[in-house]
Amino acid sequence: MAPTEPVQGVIGDSVLLPVTYSIPQPPGILQIIWNHENSIVVFSEMTMCTTEASPTPRISNEYHIVAGRYQHRVVFYPENASLLLRNVQQNDSGQYTVTFQELNQSRSMMLVLHDPETASSDPDFTQYSQNEQEQNDRYNLTQFLTVRGMCAAIFILLVMALHCTWWRQARKRRTEIL
């Protein structure tokens, strides 16, 4: 999914181009390409893995190439294919298209950028920016909780491994005593 309304932004700020996708049957490799006005912004090729224990696809060996003037200003989120543009300039406005090669799907959205003075005096734009900020905050919280959950799982596995090692050594000492 991609927004049907133009994505609004302020020159000099960051703008999120939100996208989501679902994969009915995960391909082995998924290529995602972001274009802006006929130039490639991001090319990403990901290996999609599923296991019996985890039937939902997970992304591994993901990499992306950011082209040209977007160097060091773009963050690509492979889990949902969204694109964050930092320090946007007037020439960043226009049509953006994301293509999912193996799924034969494309989605387009328009980015409209405003001068900071215009944006601060427009109450409709301020409301939109606040809604966008709330979405970004929710996304960041989700990312934080995911990382925190992964750290907790690793910690539990480490404690279990230490416990098993201790238990084996204790058992070995008991059999040596007997």
In a domain, 61, yes or no: yes
pLDDT on residue 65: 65
pLDDT on residue 103: 77
| Total number of domains constituting the chain | 2
On whether both 15 and 76 belong to a single domain, the answer is: yes
Q: Which of 115, 148, 165 is the last residue of a domain?
A: 115
Q: How far apart are alpha carbons 162 and 168 in whole angstroms?
A: 10
Q: Which of 115, 148, 170 is the last residue of a domain?
A: 115
On whether both 32 and 87 belong to a single domain, the answer is: yes
pLDDT on residue 63: 60
Q: Are 46 and 62 in contact (CB under 8 A)?
A: yes
Domain range for residue 170? 122-178
On whether both 12 and 67 belong to a single domain, the answer is: yes
On whether both 18 and 99 belong to a single domain, the answer is: yes
Burial bucket for residue 162 (CB in 10 Å: 0-12, 13-18, 19+): exposed
On whether both 134 and 94 belong to a single domain, the answer is: no
Q: How far apart are alpha carbons 85 and 87 in whole angstroms?
A: 7
On whether both 139 and 82 belong to a single domain, the answer is: no
On whether both 145 and 82 belong to a single domain, the answer is: no
Instruction: Provide the CATH number for the domain around residue 52.
Output: 2.60.40.10
In a domain, 172, yes or no: yes
In a domain, 131, yes or no: yes
In a domain, 2, yes or no: no
Q: How many other CB atoms sit within 10 Å of the CB of residue 106?
A: 13
pLDDT, tens digit, for every residue of 113-150? 998 876 555 555 555 555 566 666 677 677 777 777 78
Each residue's pLDDT, cut to its tens digit, for the chain (178 residues) gives 566 788 999 999 999 999 887 776 666 777 888 999 878 888 887 776 666 666 555 665 466 666 678 888 888 888 788 999 999 999 999 999 999 887 788 899 999 999 887 655 555 555 555 556 666 667 767 777 777 778 788 888 888 888 888 888 888 888 888 7
Those residues with Cβ within 8 angstroms of residue 13's Cβ, 6 or more apart along the chain or in another chain? 87, 88
